[in-house]
Amino acid sequence: MESLRTHYSIDVTSKEYGKTISVAGWVEDIRNIGSIAFIILRDRKGTLQITILKKEDIKIFEELVNISRESVISVEGLCKKSDKARNGYEVIPHKVNILSTAETPLPLGVVDKIESELETRLDNRFIDLRKQEIQAIFKIRNEIIAAVHEYLKKENFIEVHTPNIIASSSEGGTDVFKLKYFEKEAFLAQSPQLYKQMLMSTGLDRVYEIAWYFRAEEHNTRRHLNESTAVDLEMAFIKDEEDVMKILENLVFSMWKRACDCKEELDVLKQKIEVPKLPFKRVKYDEVIDKLNNNDCDLKWGADLGSEEEKLLGKIMKKEGHEFYFITKYPIEAKPFYTMPQESKYSRGFDLECKGVEIASGSQRIHDVELLTDRIKACNLNPNDFKSYLKAFRFGMPPHGGFGFGIERFLMNLLDIRNIRECILFPRDRTRLTP
């Protein structure tokens, strides 16, 4: 195949009018009027119009009007100003190369106005991702992750990568994927939690990673995945959980602000977003229980919040002028074993909620090995399963804390997307293992 110098379609400027250019992409639409035909060519940046007169070159004319939609072609031709064309210019072809012919019929339309079921779209995700509005989601995702790296590096965090195959459950419980690891039993990591904490004993006192979570929960809701991504962070030499919360709220602010700059993508999605104000509201768990029970809930102290309670709380907090808010001072029994207790029954754990959905969870961690061992036992776990983890606490461990912050949940709330499966390229849920 010949090497091509191609223009992204919307990157053509008036300087190239009257010049020969090369373009390449997918055939989105074909309009054959008889003596003239218009081909809409699409690439990652947008679309352009190829215009061909039958009398000028019948061979190219027949070649283009008979090709199937979503075929891939390259075109070399004259770039000509045109007030009638959608971009203000058109390309008059004098050379066409068919790079790949699409089979017909298509399993899913790209520009068809008929809405397809989500399951059909996910079954044919490679075509679904050709749609302008779907690509816009992932272009914004790319930008907010770039903002993560920029903000955290500015705050002196370094990026790390920890194992996804581990010897014991990251957070306890049974919601883990087990696998055979040669002659041993292993698990897919629920989070990088144990490794992040171990790193706090090394002198790498501020670390983060874009992590994968694997959780074997048998739910099938619009906001749960069995494989998801998150910003996972740990920091040492903290005073308490408030130090961690400040990093988290400023991170969210930076990501949200970066998304606001994605004007073209937001226009495609017909979304308008505003940067949230800092600091985010802090609401103690006890206050949350009172707010909910004053609004026809019957939630006992110590219970975790379910999706319905979170949704109701989101409505209450919105009336008070808060879309983002921290829930703090959780009961220690509702939090994982590594969470620092406060007094007898509370913890230094927190959740960050956005519009009634939990998007992050964190805490000050226990750094004393004896207390940590006691908490492991209190959670009905065996300290022997955590030997290598506990060893890191025996030889100098500073006070530390951190959080896990779900990327898909953040994107879902940022763009008012109804189903979390739209926020990851190839979702994995209770029933979906392909594509």
CA distance 72 to 98: 6
Question: How many other CB atoms are found less than 10 A from the CB of residue 433?
Answer: 10
State the catalytic residue, choosing from 16, 28, 242, 358.
358
Q: Is 389 in contact with 194 (CB distance < 8 Å)?
A: yes
Torsion angle (degrees, nearest 10) of CA 420, 421, 425, 428: 120
Q: Is 76 in contact with 94 (CB distance < 8 Å)?
A: yes
**SS3 at position 12:** coil
DSSP state letter for 340: P
Q: Known catalytic residue: 409?
A: yes
Question: How many other CB atoms are found less than 10 A from the CB of residue 259?
Answer: 22
- ω into residue 331 within 30 of 0, thus cis? no
Q: Known catalytic residue: 170?
A: no
> What tokens does 36 get?
């003239």
CA distance 228 to 164: 12
Provide the sign of the torsion angle of the four alpha carbons 296, 302, 303, 308, taken in this order.
positive
Q: Known catalytic residue: 94?
A: no
State the catalytic residue, choosing from 9, 170, 254, 361.
361
CA distance 212 to 191: 7
State the catalytic residue, choosing from 141, 224, 258, 421.
224
State the catalytic residue, choosing from 42, 215, 258, 400.
215
**Side-by-side strand order, sheet with 184-188:** 165-166, 184-188, 178-181
Q: Known catalytic residue: 206?
A: no
**Side-by-side strand order, sheet with 206-214:** 158-159, 206-214, 227-236, 400-406, 357-364, 349-354, 324-328, 281-284
State the catalytic residue, choosing from 69, 223, 365, 421.
223
State the catalytic residue, choosing from 16, 63, 217, 323.
217
CA distance 256 to 279: 14
Q: Known catalytic residue: 223?
A: yes
Q: Known catalytic residue: 361?
A: yes
Catalytic positions are 215, 217, 223-224, 358, 361, 409
